[in-house]
Amino acid sequence: MHSPRELRRRIRSITSTAQITRAMQMVAASKMRKAQQTTLKTRPFAQLLYRIQRYATTHARDFAHPLQEVRTVRKRAVILIGTDKGLCGSLNTNLFRAAAQFDPGTTVFIAVGKRAAQFVARTRRQLAAEFTYGDSPRFEEARAVANFARDLFLKGEVDEVKLVTTLFINTLSQKVTVVEFLPIGEIKALTLRGVESEAALTSDTTDVLFEPGPEEVLSFLLGHYLGIFIYRALLEAKASEQSARMVGMKNATDSATGLTDDLTLEYNKLRQGNITKELLEIAGGQLGNE
């Protein structure tokens, strides 16, 4: 049985921890709302840009771009978007479990986020580059990642590029997903329900006129699309991270509060028992004197 002093010490310690987790919960909740709003506002634009890209590449006859070249995969790159900080539940664990499925002998990693870089170093995998991004991802950060992956592909150092990231579903749920990034003809929409318009796009045989020409239009469109694709992935990952951290800190606060209540009850019972024992001893002493 614990002594009253030990119980008081544990209660103070757990109460202090609960104050810290509650403060972190409030901070994460504030950042979460902003990240979620930004992500949800960006989705319609990204999906429309995807439709434009697929429609254009489908109807551009006799047009071939180096980013569309499909090769036999001997070497691949994986863009792994993790978090900069921990305390976000099983988010990173699930993400790294998906990344670990790739053959380390034929895969190089482009780590985005400190935790992603730590995973690559810890598992002794090949690291091609490391990037960071803030609580409010910027397009310049996404473009740097996209340009690096594009250069690896165009130089022939890798034959395909995949993206491993987390999609935001709601505050309580996030989904780890693996999608194609390059070659660009294989890119699928970064959505939870898959590619809804693919059949309609490929079955439409309407002639399309490109001005000034298909090469000029598609060269600009494909390069710009890569940056938007990564930017969308960064927003989804940040919304997932803040949501997971808020939920994790709330669960930690609730657990600490429950444990404090249990210890306080045990302390009060022990203290009441000691008081009762002392009263009985005093009463017994008085009866003995009589």
164 to 34, 230, 272: CA distances (angstroms): 23, 11, 58
Q: What are the residue numbers of the active site?
A: 88
Q: The sheet that has 160-170: what strands, in order across it?
A: 126-131, 107-112, 76-81, 160-170, 173-182
Tokens 């059949």 correspond to what residue?
199
Q: Are 120 and 150 contacting, i.e. CB atoms less than 8 angstroms apart?
A: no
Query: Are the C-beta atoms of 155 and 162 separated by less than 8 Å?
Result: no
3-state secondary structure of 144: helix
Going by the DSSP 8-state scheme, the letter that residue 161 receives in this structure is E
Nearest alpha carbon to residue 186 among 226, 241, 136, 154:
226
Report helix, strand or coil for 51. Answer: helix
Q: Can you give the length of the chain in residues?
A: 290
Two tokens, residue 232: 């969308």
Query: How many helical (H) and strand (E) elements, i.e. helices and strands, does the chain have?
Result: 6, 5
Half-sphere exposure (CA, 13 Å, Cβ side) for 153? 31
- How many Cβ atoms from other residues are within 10 Å of residue 139's Cβ? 13
Residues 96 and 102: their CA atoms lie apart, in Å, by: 11
Instruction: Determine how β-strand 76-81 pairs with β-strand 160-170.
Output: parallel
Angle at 75 between CA 138 and CA 120, to 5 degrees: 55
